[in-house]
Chain A
C-alpha cells in the first residue's frame, strides 16, 4: 500500500507557540520510536496537517503497533481517546483507498497524542478489532461498522449500534443520500388495533 497524501494544503502547519512546538516534537519522537521498532511496510508514512502529526499504519500490523504503543515502557499509550472513520470517496483529488480509520491514543508518560490512520480499500473494508488491546474500542468499532460498514475481525459483538438492527445501509458513507434510500417509507406501521 502506498502513502496517500490527500491533504494538499500547506496552510497552518507551522506551530504558532512554543507549546505547540513542544507537542509536535513529542509526537515526532513517538514516530521515530515506531520507525525504529517496525519495518517500513508497517509505518507507511507520516505528515503534519494543522500542526498535528498523522501516521499511516499498515492494516495487517495494526494490533501489533497498538500493543507496542501501550506496553512499551518508554511510551505507555494507555488511553484510547478516539476511534473513528472517514470516507474519502468524494474528496477532491483523492487517490487511493476509500476509507481511513483513525485511532488517537494518549500517553501520560510522553505527554503526547498519537494519531494513527489505517487506510482500507473499498472492496475490502475489513480491519482487525482493537478490542483485544483496548477494551474501550468495542463501541466505537460497532459504531463504525454501523455507519460505514467496516467489518472488525475478532470483535466480540459486532452489531449495529445507532441504527435499527434491520437497517440496510451505512449512512455515513458518502454515496448514501442525506434523506436515505426510502427506508422511512418501508417502516412497519402499527395500527391502533395492533398496538
Chain B
C-alpha cells in the first residue's frame, strides 16, 4: 500500500507509529489516515488530531498536543509570586481575568491572607464577566464552526463589550493582569456599575437572540443533538470538569463545592443537563451565562465600600502614599526588591477555582523565599482534550469540528 505509507510519512512519525492499521482482508486499504491541525482554522489554536477514517466514519482518533508549550510552570520557578500573574493571563487566554484571580487566591491561601469585602466583590464580578465573555464566545465559535456565522458575530460584540469593561478597569483587554496577591491591581472606576449594568442587559438580549437563532434551529439540532456523547461515568473517570462535566449530568461546580471569595453567600443555581452531547454543552453554557448575570445583579448595586486590597505586609502601597510617607516608601522598596516581596511561609497548597472551561487548580509549593518553588496549573482543557477520542468513537468526520468546539479546548491552557 504505497499510498498509505506515503500518507503516513506525510502526517509524521507519530501517526505511523500509532496507527498500526490492521492488515487482514484488505481493511487497511479502505482506511485513511488524516491529519487534522495543528494549523486548522477550526482548531482555534494549535491542536492536532490524527484521524483514522473508514470512508467518512472515524475509526480511531489520536489527539496530540504540545505545539504551544511555553513552559509556564518552569518560568514560574524563576519569578516572584506577583510576577507570575501576567503568565497566568496567557494560559487560558480567553478568560485571563479568571486565571489571575485563581492564581492569586491560591497564593493568598498559602499566605493565609484575607481580601477585604470590596476586593472580593470586584473579583467575583470580574470573574463572572469573564465567564460570560468566554461562554458566549464559545457558543458563537461553535456556531461559526457549524456554519451559523451570525451567532459568532453577535457573540463577538458582547465579548468586546466585556473587554471594554476590563479595559477601563485594568488597562488591558485580552491579557489583563488585573489580579494581585491580596486583591486587584486598581480599584474600579466610578462608572463601573453603570457600565456593567448596561453590559448585562445587552448580554441578556443577545443570549435570547442566540437562543432564538439556534436552540430550535433544524440544522443546528441535526448537527448537535446526539453528537459527541460523553457519559457520566466517562466524564468522571476522565477528570472532566466545568460545563463539559455538568452537561453530562454531574452537578460539580467548585463555586458550590468549595466556595471561595464569598460565593457561598450568593444565590445561584448550578444548572446541569443529562444528555452529555454537543447540544447539551451548548445549552449548558447559555444556562451558565444566565446564572452569572444573576450573580452580578446581586452584587453590582451594593458594592461594599473600602479598599480593594488587603493593605499591609504583602500589598504595594499606592503611589500617593509611597511618595508622601517614609514608612510606605520603605515598605514599597521592600516589596519590589529581589529576595523580598511577597513571601508565603514554607508549605504547599492546591487551590481550585471555577474558570469558564472548568476547574483550574493551582498547586503551589513555597520554600519561604520570595520565589515559588513549584507552580503547577491544573488545566481543565487538558483533561477535556484527552477525553476527545471517547466522544468521537464512530462519529462522522464532519462532527469532529462540532465536538471539538463544544469542548472549548484552549491551546494555551492545554500546553502551558
Question: Do chains A and B interact in one complex?
Answer: yes
The stretch among B173-181, B326-334, B375-383 that forms the contact with chain A is: B375-383
Residues of A within 8 A of B347 (CB): 7, 9, 11-12, 49-50
B264 contacts the other chain (CB 8 A): yes
Please tell me which stretch of A30-38, A120-128, A134-142, A186-194 contacts chain B, meaning at least 4 of its Cβ atoms lie within 8 angstroms of it. Answer: A134-142
Asked if B349 contacts A50 (CB within 8 A), the reply is yes
* Shortest distance from the beta carbon of B412 to any chain A beta carbon, whole Å: 13
Q: How far is the CA of A134 from the CA of B13 in the complex (A)?
A: 28
For A12, A111, A113, the residue with the greatest tally of chain B CB atoms inside 10 Å of its CB is A12
Q: When A7-B346, A161-B66 are in contact, do A82 and B363 touch as well, CB less than 8 Å?
A: yes
User: Which of A8, A50, A163 sits near B66, CB closer than 8 Å?
Assistant: A163
Which residues of B lie under 8 Å from residue A50 when comparing CB positions? 109-110, 112, 347-349
A92 CB–B CB distance under 8 Å:
yes
User: Is A8 a contact of B346 with CB atoms below 8 Å?
Assistant: yes
Q: For the complex, give the distance between the alpha carbons of A7 and B387 in Å.
A: 35
B309 → chain A closest CB, angstroms: 19
Of residues 114 through 167 on chain A, the ones whose CB sits less than 8 Å from some CB of chain B are 115, 134-136, 138-140, 143, 147, 160-165
Q: How far is the CB of B3 from chain A (nearest CB, A)?
A: 23
Instruction: Please name the residue on chain A nearest to B257 by beta carbon.
Output: A111
Proximity bits, B29-70, A CB within 8 Å = 1, else 0: 000000000000000000000000000000000000110010
The answer to whether B239 touches A79, judged by C-beta atoms less than 8 angstroms apart, is yes
In the bound assembly, the distance between CA atoms of A12 and B114 in angstroms comes to 12
Contacts A80-B237, A163-B66 known; A172 to B74 CB distance under 8 Å? yes
The total of interchain contacts (Cβ-Cβ below 8 angstroms) comes to 123
Q: Which of A1-45 contact B (CB under 8 A)?
A: 7-9, 11-12, 16, 19, 23
A162–B69 touching, CB < 8 Å: yes
Report if B350 contacts A (CB, 8 A): yes
Instruction: Tell me how many residues of B have a C-beta within 8 Å of chain A.
Output: 53
Tell me if B367 counts as interface (CB < 8 A to partner A): yes
Residues of A near B211 (CB, < 8 A) are none
Per-residue A-contact encoding for B98-126, CB less than 8 Å = 1, 0 else? 00000000000111101000000000000
Q: Is the CB of B350 within 8 A of A135?
A: no
Measured between alpha carbons, how far is A109 from B332 in the docked complex, in Å? 48
In the complex, A135→B110 CA distance in Å?
31
Contact status A165-B257, CB under 8 Å: no
CA distance A140 to B383 in the complex (A): 8
Contact A81 B352 (CB under 8 A): yes
Contacts A8-B346, A19-B264, A136-B237; is A178 near B74 (CB within 8 Å)?
yes
A60 to B198 CA separation, bound complex (whole angstroms): 59
Q: Once the chains bind, are B348 and A171 in contact (CB under 8 Å)?
A: no
Contact with A along B309-348 (1 / 0, CB 8 A): 0000000000000000000000000000000000001111
Contact indicator per residue, chain A 64-85, by CB within 8 Å of chain B (1) or not (0): 0000000000000011111010
B277 within 8 A of partner (CB): no
A52 close to B (CB within 8 Å): yes
The answer to whether the Cβ of B373 comes within 8 Å of any Cβ in the partner chain is yes
Most A C-beta atoms less than 10 A away, residue of B350, B352, B382: B350
Q: Answer yes or no: B368 CB below 8 A from chain A CBs.
A: yes
- Nearest-neighbor residue (CB-CB) of B111 within chain A: A12
Least CB distance, A67 to chain B, in whole angstroms: 13
Known contacts A78-B236, A134-B239: A9-B346 contact under CB 8 Å: yes
Q: Which of B65, B78, B237, B350 contacts A52 (CB 8 A)?
A: B350
Pick the contact of A139 from B110, B234, B346, B383 — CB < 8 Å? B383
Q: Which residues of B from 385 to 416 have beta carbons under 8 Å from A?
A: 385-387, 415-416
List B245-268 residues whose CB lies under 8 Å from chain A. Answer: 250, 252, 257-259, 264
Bound-complex Cα distance A161 to B66 (A): 6
In the assembled complex, which residues on chain B have CB atoms less than 8 Å from the CB atom of A113? 258
From the candidates B78, B114, B348, B361, name the one contacting A81 in the complex (CB within 8 A).
Answer: B361
* B359 at interface by CB-CB < 8 Å: yes
Residues of A within 8 A of B378 (CB): 81-82, 84
Complex CA–CA separation, A120 to B234 (angstroms): 30
Please give me the residue from chain A that is nearest to B415 by CB atom: A162
**Does residue B73 face the partner (Cβ distance < 8 Å to A)?**
yes
Residues of A within 8 A of B78 (CB): 178
A12→B239 contact, CB < 8 A: no
Kindly state whether residue B14 has any CB partner on chain A within 8 Å. yes
Nearest CB in chain B: distance from A79 CB, A: 5
Tell me the smallest distance from the CB of A130 to a CB of chain B, in Å: 11
Whether B359 pairs with A81 at a CB distance below 8 angstroms is yes
Can you give 15 A-B contacts (C-beta < 8 A)?
A: A8-B346, A9-B345, A11-B112, A12-B345, A52-B349, A82-B361, A86-B373, A106-B252, A108-B252, A113-B258, A136-B238, A139-B383, A162-B66, A172-B74, A178-B78
Nearest 7 A-B pairs (CB), nearest first?
A12-B112, A136-B239, A136-B238, A139-B386, A162-B66, A11-B345, A9-B345
- Name B residues whose Cβ lies closer than 8 Å to a Cβ of A: 13-14, 65-66, 69, 71, 73-75, 77-78, 109-112, 114, 234, 236-241, 250, 252, 257-259, 264, 345-350, 352, 359, 361, 363, 365, 367-368, 373-374, 376, 378, 382-383, 385-387, 415-416
